[in-house]
Amino acid sequence: MQKGLFVTLEGLDGAGKSTQIKRLVERAQSLGIETVTTREPGGTEAGDAIRAILLDPRFRTMTALTEAFLYAASRAQLVHEIIAPALKCGKLVICDRFLDSSLAYQAAGGGLDFDFVLAINRRAVQGYMPDRTYILDLQPELGQRRRGEAAADRVEQKPLAYHRRVRDGFLRLAEFFPERIRVLDAALTPDELFMRIWEDLTPLLKKMGKYKGCSGV
């Protein structure tokens, strides 16, 4: 169905996803690979509105079930508006978080049933599963330290025990999807991390479709 390549980065806040995404885009573009980057929750007008609700510290009593539907709703819109069209045009799509975040945060962290969260997300992504996912594995204590004094959003305000469950959830996901997911140590230097990601990604990029017949996506 798709001709492009779909790559996602996952991990706890503070793991260094945005630094790696920036470098990936620079490298890909320097090789002439058309690249689209996006992030979750958000990435579309409707998705950004959903993001504002999800991260608002006023909604401290929001349940994991409510969260799961909101994240899935934002994801469905993102796939429809951005991800599917770009992949159909043979582009490299790099997404900061995707359905694995819901499996780690809402299922492992929030206690929802894994199969249920997977089922609603399979519907939301409409067949557009990532080709490769890098989990930047980080101890939650280190993530909090990296964030420093910056104001915490609603998710970041959750207790350390929650973030420990999320981290374990990410690691279990790697066992559940061994073909797709690679776990990397987020304590490595950004240079080392990038080297490992690029080494793994290169063969996939070589196999990627070269069709560039669409414009305006």
Q: Enumerate binding residues for ligand TYD (CB under 6 A).
A: 13, 39-41, 55, 71, 97, 101-102, 105-106, 153, 155-156
Pick the closer one to ligand TYD by CB: 6 or 105.
105
- Give me the least distance between CB of 47 and ligand TYD, in Å please: 10
- Give me the least distance between CB of 158 and ligand TYD, in Å please: 9
List own/partner pairs for 157-166 with CB under 8 A and 24 or more apart.
Answer: 157/57, 157/60, 158/109, 162/109, 162/110, 163/12, 163/109, 164/140, 165/108, 165/109, 166/12, 166/104, 166/105, 166/108, 166/109, 166/140
Give the residue closest to ligand TYD by C-beta: 105
Rounded alpha-carbon distances, angstroms, from residue 59 to 38, 101, 129, 178: 25, 20, 30, 36
- Give me the least distance between CB of 64 and ligand TYD, in Å please: 9
- The sheet with strand 92-96 has its strands ordered as 35-39, 92-96, 5-11, 132-137, 181-185
Pick the closer one to ligand TYD by CB: 53 or 55.
55
Pick the closer one to ligand TYD by CB: 142 or 205.
142
- Give me the least distance between CB of 73 and ligand TYD, in Å please: 11
DSSP state at residue 215: -
What radius of gyration, in Å, describes the C-alpha atoms of the chain? 17
- Give me the least distance between CB of 100 and ligand TYD, in Å please: 8
Pick the closer one to ligand TYD by CB: 55 or 204.
55
Pick the closer one to ligand TYD by CB: 71 or 170.
71
